[in-house]
C-alpha cells in the first residue's frame, strides 16, 4: 500500500535513503537544481529511527516503516489525550471516551496519512504527553 501523492512521506523516504547511504554530512543533490546540505532538509530523529528500524527489519521498505511509524504515532496520540483527559477530569470514563474518540475519528488519519509528514506527525503525537508532564509538575 503506497501513500497518496499529496503526502510528504515519499520526501521523507527519499531523504532517509540518502542519509542511510551517505550520512548527514553530505549534500543532497537535485534540490532546486543544485545541492543543499542534508542537515538543512530534515532533522535527525525520524531518519535515525527509520534507519535503525530498517537495520532491525530489513524485509520492510522505508515506505512501510514510515507508515508503521505514523500509525504508531496515532496510537501514541490517542493514549496521550486519553491520559490527559483522565487527569484533568478525574474520571477514567472520560479519558477512555476521549482516547477512543481521538483514535477512531478521521481527522488525524486524513491529516497524517493524506497530507502529513512523518516528523510533524511525531511532534503532534508528543504534544499531549508534554502537556501531561507539565500538568504533573504543577
> Looking up cell 504515532, which residue turns up?
73
pTM of the model: 0.84
Please check the confidence at residue 71 and state whether its pLDDT lies above 70: yes
Residues 6+ apart with CB under 8 A from 34: none
How far apart, in Å, do the first and last CA atoms of the chain sit? Answer: 45
Q: Average pLDDT, whole number, for the chain? A: 88
Residue 64's pLDDT band, with cuts at 50, 70 and 90, is very high
Cα–Cα distance, 133 to 126 (Å, whole number): 11
Amino acid at each position: 500500500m503506497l501513500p497518496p501523492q499529496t503526502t510528504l512521506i515519499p520526501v521523507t523516504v527519499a531523504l532517509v535513503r540518502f542519509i542511510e547511504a551517505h550520512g548527514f554530512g553530505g549534500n543532497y543533490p537535485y534540490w532546486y537544481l543544485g545541492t543543499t546540505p542534508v542537515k538543512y532538509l530534515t532533522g535527525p530523529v525520524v531518519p535515525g529511527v527509520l534507519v535503525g528500524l530498517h537495520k532491525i527489519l530489513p524485509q520492510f521498505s522505508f515506505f512501510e516503516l514510515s507508515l508503521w511509524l505514523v500509525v504508531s504515532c496515532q496510537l501514541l496520540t490517542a493514549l496521550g489525550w486519553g491520559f490527559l483527559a483522565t487527569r484533568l477530569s478525574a474520571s477514567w470514563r472520560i479519558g477512555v471516551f476521549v482516547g477512543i474518540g481521538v483514535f477512531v475519528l478521521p481527522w488525524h488519519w486524513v491529516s497524517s496519512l493524506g497530507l502529513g509528514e512523518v516528523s510533524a506527525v511525531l511532534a503532534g503525537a508528543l504534544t499531549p504527553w508534554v502537556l501531561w508532564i507539565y500538568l504533573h509538575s504543577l
